[in-house]
Structure 1
Amino acid sequence: MELPAATWVPCNFQMDNWTMEPPVWAPAFPVEYQYAATEIFGNCLQISGPSSSGGHLLVESAQATHNELIEPTEAHDQFEVNLINMEAQIHDNTICEFEETTQEFQVDMDTMKMKIHRYPASLRGFDEYSSVPRMVAMGPYHHGQVLQDQLKKVEKVKYVAAYHCVIESGHSLQEVYDAVVSAAHVARHLYDNDVMAGIGDDDFLPMMFYDACFLVQYMLWCTPSASEMEGSLRSFFDLNRKVLRHDLMLLENQLPWLVVEAVMRFRHVELVDFIADWRYYLQDRKILGEKPIVLDDSYEPPHLLGLLRFYMVGRSNTNVHTRDKFDSISVSVSAIELAEIGIKLTVKETRELIHMGISRKGILSAELSLAPLSLDDERASFLINMAALELCTTSNFQEAGDEDSAVCSYLLLLSMLVHREEDVQELRTKHLLQGGAGLINKEALGFFTSLQSLPLRGLCYGRVMVEIERYKMERRMRIMVHTFLYRNKGTILAAISVIGVLVSILGTLMSLKSKSKI
Structure 2
Amino acid sequence: MVAVFSKDVLSWYLITIKLKEAVDGNLSKSPPPGAQPRWQALVRNLPLLADVGEAGGEALQRQERERPGEVQAQSPGHSPKPLDPEWVVTIRGKLAQARDEEAACPWARLSVYRVPKSLRDGDERAYVPQVVSIGPLHHGQRRLREMERHKWRALHHVLKRTGRDVTFYLDALRPMEERVRACYDGHVAGMQGNELAECLVLDGTFVLELLRGARDGGKGFVDDLRYSRHDPIFAMRGAMHAIRNDMILLENQIPLFVLDLLLGLQLNNPEQAGVVVTLALRFFDPLMPTDAPLLRKERSRLESSIGAEAAAVAAAFDPLSGPKLHCLDVFRRSLLRAGLQPTPPPPPARHWLRKLSGLRCVADKRRQQFVHCVSELREAGIRCRRRKTDRFWDITFDNGVLRIPRILIHDDTKSLFLNLIAFEQCQMDIATPGGNNVTSYAIFMDNLINSADDVKYLHDRGIIEHWLGSDAEVADLFNRLCQEVVFDINDSYLSGLSDQVNRYYDYKWSTWIASLKHNYFSNPWAIVSVVAGVFLLLLTMAQTFYAAYSYYRPRN
TM-score scaled to structure 2, two decimals?
A: 0.65
Could you say which residue in structure 2 is the equivalent of 1:326?
A: 350
- Of 216, 220, 227 in structure 1, the residue corresponding to residue 212 of structure 2 is 220
Task: Number of aligned residue pairs: give it.
Answer: 423
Q: Distance in 1 between matches of 2:266 and 2:388?
A: 36
Structure 1 pair 144–79 and aligned structure 2 pair: CA distance change class (3 A): same
Q: Counterpart of 1:367 in structure 2: which amino acid?
A: L
Could you say which residue in structure 2 is the equivalent of 1:390?
A: 424
Q: Distance in 2 between matches of 1:282 and 1:297?
A: 16
2:397–2:501 Cα contact (<8 Å) kept: no
Cα distance, 1:316 vs structure 2? 5.0
Deviations 1:391-413 (A, max 9, x none): 11026x6xx46601111011111
Q: Distance in 2 between matches of 1:186 and 1:118?
A: 18
Cα distance, 1:385 vs structure 2? 0.5
Could you say which residue in structure 2 is the equivalent of 1:412?
A: 443
Could you say which residue in structure 1 is the equivalent of 2:397?
A: 359
Name whichever of 212-221 and 323-332 sits farther off.
323-332
Could you say which residue in structure 2 is the equivalent of 1:303?
A: 326
Cα distance, 1:454 vs structure 2? 4.2
- Of 342, 346, 362 in structure 1, the residue corresponding to residue 385 of structure 2 is 346
SS in 2 for 1:431: coil
Cα distance, 1:133 vs structure 2? 0.8
Deviations 1:169-212 (A, max 9, x none): 45444433333334445212222344x22221232211111100
Name whichever of 295-304 and 117-126 sits farther off.
295-304
1:368-387, aligned counterparts within 5 Å?
368-369=403-404, 371-387=405-421
1:344–1:367 Cα contact (<8 Å) kept: yes
2:256–2:327 Cα contact (<8 Å) kept: yes
- Of 66, 69, 81 in structure 2, the residue corresponding to residue 54 of structure 1 is 66
Cα distance, 1:465 vs structure 2? 3.9
1:212–1:255 Cα contact (<8 Å) kept: yes
Q: Distance in 2 between matches of 1:425 and 1:202?
A: 55
Q: Counterpart of 2:341 in structure 1: which amino acid?
A: N
Deviations 1:233-261 (A, max 9, x none): 66554231221121111111111111111
SS in 2 for 1:77: coil
Alignment pair present for 1:199 and 2:191: yes
- Of 153, 158, 161 in structure 2, the residue corresponding to residue 160 of structure 1 is 153
1:223–1:274 Cα contact (<8 Å) kept: no
Structure 1 pair 311–391 and aligned structure 2 pair: CA distance change class (3 A): same
> Which protein shows a greater Rg?
2
Cα distance, 1:155 vs structure 2? 0.2
Cα distance, 1:220 vs structure 2? 1.3
Q: Distance in 1 between matches of 2:368 and 2:277?
A: 42
Cα distance, 1:344 vs structure 2? 2.6
Cα distance, 1:390 vs structure 2? 0.6
Deviations 1:409-468 (A, max 9, x none): 111111111111111222212222114x23532222221111241434376874434433
Q: Distance in 2 between matches of 1:439 and 1:299?
A: 41
Cα distance, 1:474 vs structure 2? 6.9
Q: Distance in 2 between matches of 1:503 and 1:442?
A: 41
% of aligned pairs identical? 18
Say what the alpha-carbon RMSD is for the aligned residues: 4.1
Cα distance, 1:266 vs structure 2? 3.5
Q: Counterpart of 2:375 in structure 1: which amino acid?
A: I
Deviations 1:377-400 (A, max 9, x none): 2122111101111111026x6xx4
- Of 470, 477, 481 in structure 2, the residue corresponding to residue 440 of structure 1 is 470
TM-score scaled to structure 1, two decimals?
A: 0.70
Q: Distance in 1 between matches of 2:79 and 2:535?
A: 117
User: 5+ residue gaps in structure 2?
Assistant: 1-16, 18-59, 268-274, 301-314, 355-366, 538-556
Alignment pair present for 1:77 and 2:111: no
Q: Distance in 2 between matches of 1:119 and 1:350?
A: 32
Deviations 1:337-378 (A, max 9, x none): 32233333233333234423x3313xxx23242x42221221
Q: Distance in 1 between matches of 2:140 and 2:502?
A: 55
Could you say which residue in structure 2 is the equivalent of 1:281?
A: 287
1:416–1:452 Cα contact (<8 Å) kept: no
Q: Distance in 2 between matches of 1:446 and 1:475?
A: 25
SS in 2 for 1:252: coil
User: 5+ residue gaps in structure 1?
Assistant: 1-5, 7-47, 60-72, 507-518
1:51–1:57 Cα contact (<8 Å) kept: no
Alignment pair present for 1:252 and 2:251: yes
